[in-house]
Amino acid sequence: MLWRLVVAILGVCLIPSCLSDVQLSSNVILEPYDLLFDTAVEAYYKGDWMTVILNMERALRNKAAIRRVKAHCRITCANQSAFGEPLSSMVVPVPGAGSVEDLGFFQKIMKRADCVNTCESEKIGPPTIHKVTEDVDLEFKKRTPYNYLQVAYFKINKLDKAVAAANTFFLANPDHMEMKQNLDYYRMMAGVQQEDFKDLEARPHMAEFLAGKRYYSSDSFGLAIDHFEAAVEEYFSADQECRALCEGAYVYDGYNYMEYSADLFQSMTDHYMQILNCKQRCSVELASTAGKDKPFEDFLPSHFNYLQICEKYEQAIEWAKTYLLFHPEEEVMNQNLAYYSAMLGEDKAAAISARLVVKQHIQQSLLEKELLYFAYEVFGITFVDPDSWTPADVMPLKLREKQKTERETAARITEEIGNLMKEIETLVEEKNKESTDIAKIVREGGPLLFDDIKITMTSKQLNGSQRVLLDGFISEGECRELTRLSNAAALKGDGYQGRPSPHSPYESFQGVTVLKAIKLGQEETVPLKSARLFFDMSEKVRGVMESYFRLDSPLYFSYSHLVCRSAIDEKQDDRDDLSHLVHADNCLLVSELNECIKEPPAYTNRDYSAILYLNDDFEGGDFIFTELDSKTVTAEVRPQCGRVVGFGAGNENPHGVRAVTKGQRCAVALWFTLDPKHEEKVTYLSVNSSGIVYIMSFFLSFYVVMGYFVI
């Protein structure tokens, strides 16, 4: 860590400004790309766009350079362990058997290790400083740097680069809605060209393959062939690089390193099998492309299937034979080959053989698979063959039989689990139906607790369920007192992130919470008595709701808000909006689908809602219940002082408020929860007798009852 810091500081003056080539001058220390990334992210939050660009571009360049150097060094050092001639220093010639030959073998290994180390250190500095955490690795895999770059380029008006960065990021994150919008926006901007939508991380073999496929599907076969040929060439250099990069450190499985105690040959076996497994996975790695969930199937062989459509029979025969190396029994390809051969002449055709590089590739891959299967059988080191073309007999017979029984067992278990799940679902559905039926019947009509409160309408009269309209909660005087409280507190927009007209541009909005009212009372900005009235009235509504809806468990405050909406006089012509859009309180209403989804950001823990009205001297502002479509009004309620509309907070009760077109409409909106965890909390700073400041947190009701709130 310390070493890394030193390097990071020195790095700035040691690094030549451009490191885009493998031919790096010797003895440089490449700046670690995770540090550059961090610097860029920090600069991003300061809005220092040039620093973001400088560091992020350099991070990407350095990461690519490290990759190139590692592959390059491992590939060029491979000849160091070639067992060609006998070693000059050895008396006994190789090959042979015995401890002296072991020395020869390990000498080769050490020379190769030395070669790789020297090569890497010369070009990028000590390899350990380029180790990054998994998190950083993931960010680069997700192409996050391009997200930052996109913003930075845009801010300094480098539109073409912003578009390329945005596109590069989006390709790897196709579900990223914001970036999709950005790209749509860029597309409409003047000065943006189609060519700007680049993939800055495109890999040549995949780019050629995709280009080939594009031309193929638009029937431009000549161009398609050119690209597929280039793709094959690029494939093998990409494969070589991928395999070289596999030759890394041993990766311990979980905490295995704590008890790992394999001997020399066992640990060499373990490590080497891990490397071979990785090398085998290269065929999947190369068949994968950013943003596509699954790799292309049978990727390499498919190239030759495309290529055999070429015009010249010589080439068509070569590609067909190459394809058949993978799938020798494939009927159509065999027919094609027979046809091409007949057209060209059988003798000439027989002289043409499959591509050598592909033959060698298959041979090497099959040898690797054999070793891996051996390790599987003998040491239990799992190997899953990624290729579909492997002949069946490469896998040892015993293993094949074992896998067959395992597959059958797995299929049986999956089926049984599937059946069980279906049964459970049916049971749950039936249960739900029963319980909602019961809820609808039983959960209404409990005692009202106070003599002066009267039921004006029940669920039935309100054309729905879990609804009630009550009158007589508070007196005219109390209504006026609460309205005054609201106007005195008149912190415009409180409770909605300080926006004065959060719901409708034609109305202004003011709100105050119980806690805010109490605090203002303590500061003597509003009468403390009125704040207490606000709390007591809320409590009264809570108690009546709990009782009327016959709840088995207590109802708690989730949130209470005294709100007034005022029509803005000069803005009332031709108005057709609502004062408060139709919504449900504990689910997200998707009116197009007639659905209400109970998940955040909806307040999913809210169970009941109530509104206590304070006045009626305004125009418009009626409360409405609707169907799930948010359009069909099922019931309307005219506000008046002391009236309460109470209802279940779920999908049975979408509701809204009609436009207030004249005057001011005031009400206390109350949300309740059955879950004590979500009761509204009071948190404030307190100072104890020794002068230490600490944070206190209480449930609202407790706070009031315990006399912290004294009048």
Ligand X SMILES: *[C@@H]1O[C@H](CO)[C@@H](O)[C@H](O)[C@H]1NC(C)=O
| 476/636 with CB nearer ligand X | 636
Instruction: Report the residue from 636, 640, 681, 684 that binds ligand X according to the rule CB under 6 A.
Output: 636
Give the total residue count for the chain: 711
Q: Which is nearer to ligand X, 116 or 544 (CB)?
A: 116
Q: Given candidates 220, 289, 463, 508, which one binds ligand X under the rule CB under 6 A?
A: 463
* Contact between 640 and ligand X per CB under 6 A: no
Distance CA 512, CA 489 (A): 7
Q: How far is the CB of 79 from ligand X (least distance, A)?
A: 4
The structure tokens 């209400």 sit at 596
Concerning whether 665 is annotated as a catalytic residue, the answer is yes
- Contact present, 267 and 224 (Cβ < 8 Å): no
> Shortest approach of ligand X to residue 88 CB, angstroms?
12
Q: Within its chain, how far is the Cα of 291 from the centroid?
A: 12
Instruction: Find the helix or strand (DSSP H, E) in which 655 lies.
Output: strand 655-658
CB of 635 to ligand X, least distance (A): 4
Question: What is the chain's percent helix, strand, coil content, to nearest 5?
Answer: 55, 15, 35
Number of other CB atoms surrounding residue 540 within 10 Å: 17
Question: How far apart (Å, rounded) are the C-alpha atoms in residues 392 and 388?
Answer: 10
Minimum CB distance to ligand X, residue 633 (Å): 8
At residue 527, what are phi and psi to the nearest 5 degrees?
Answer: -65, 130
In the bound complex, what is the minimum distance in angstroms from residue 446's beta carbon to ligand X?
A: 21
Three-state secondary structure string covering 397-414 = HHHHHHHHHHHHHHHHHH
Q: What are phi and psi of 47, to 5 degrees?
A: 70, 20
Q: How many CB atoms lie within 10 A of CB 41?
A: 17
Contact 232, 319 (CB under 8 A): no
CB of 29 to ligand X, least distance (A): 23
For ligand X, the closer CB: 88 or 689: 88
Report the residue number, 150 or 609, with the smaller CB distance to ligand X.
609
Give the nearer residue to ligand X in terms of CB position, either 401 or 636: 636
Nearest in space to 164 (alpha carbons), one of 179, 175, 142: 179
Of the candidates 467, 542, 643, 665, the residue annotated as catalytic is 665
User: Counting contacts by CB under 6 A, is residue 73 touching ligand X?
Assistant: no
Reading the block at residue 589, the tokens are 């209403």
Nearer Cβ to ligand X (462/628) = 462
Measured from the Cβ of residue 371, the count of other Cβ atoms closer than 10 Å reads 15
Q: Of the candidates 462, 526, 564, 612, which one interacts with ligand X according to CB under 6 A?
A: 462
- The letter for the amino acid at 317 is I
Instruction: Considering the complex, state which of residue 240 and residue 463 has its C-beta at the smaller distance from ligand X.
Output: 463
Nearer to ligand X, 525 or 634 (CB): 634
Residue with smaller CB distance to ligand X, 76 or 335: 76
Q: How far is residue 343 from each of residues 332, 334, 337, 420, 556, measured CA to CA in Å?
A: 17, 14, 10, 60, 87
Q: Which of 20, 25, 27, 79 binds ligand X (CB under 6 A)?
A: 79
C-alpha triplet 387, 322, 331: angle, nearest 5°:
80
* Distance of closest approach, residue 268 Cβ to ligand X, in angstroms: 23
In 218-352, which ranges are continuous DSSP H helix? Answer: 221-246, 264-287, 299-307, 313-326, 331-344, 346-351
Query: Residues near 534 by Cβ (< 8 Å), separated by ≥ 6?
Result: 482, 485, 514, 517, 562, 668
3-state SS, 176-240, equals CHHHHHHHHHHHHCCCCCHHHCCCCCCCHHHHHHHHHHHHHHCCCHHHHHHHHHHHHHHHHHHHH
Q: How many residues bind ligand X (CB under 6 A)?
A: 6
Min CB(244)–ligand X separation in Å = 13
Among residues 669, 693, 692, the alpha carbon closest in space to that of 680 is found at 669
Report in angstroms how near the CB of residue 664 gets to ligand X at its nearest. 24
Interface residue with ligand X, options 225, 614, 635, 660 (CB under 6 A): 635
Rounded Cα–Cα distance for residues 640 and 642 (Å): 6
User: Cβ-count burial of 463 within 10 angstroms (0-12 exposed, 13-18 middle, 19+ buried)?
Assistant: middle
Select 178 or 636, whichever has its Cβ closest to ligand X: 636
76 or 432, CB closer to ligand X? Answer: 76
CB of 462 to ligand X, least distance (A): 5
In whole angstroms, what is the distance from residue 586 CA to residue 583 CA? 9
Measured from the CB atom, is 423 or 636 closer to ligand X? 636
Least distance in angstroms from the C-beta of 591 to ligand X? 20
CB of 116 to ligand X, least distance (A): 12
Residue 150, classed as helix, strand or coil, is helix
Measured distance CA(149)–CA(166) in Å, rounded: 8
d(CA 533, CA 553): 26
Q: Strand ranges (DSSP E) for 485-555?
A: 507-513
Round to whole Å and give the CA distance between 439 and 453. Answer: 24
**Cα 386 from Cα 398, distance rounded (Å):** 20
Residues 6+ apart with CB under 8 A from 106: none
Instruction: Say whether residue 76 binds ligand X (CB under 6 A).
Output: yes
The two tokens of residue 389 are 């073309």
Find the shortest distance in angstroms from Cβ 16 to ligand X. 23
Choose between 435 and 632: whose C-beta lies nearer to ligand X. Answer: 632
- Cα separation, 112 vs 67, in Å, equals 19
Active-site amino acid positions: 665
Q: Which residues bind ligand X (CB under 6 A)?
A: 76, 79, 462-463, 635-636
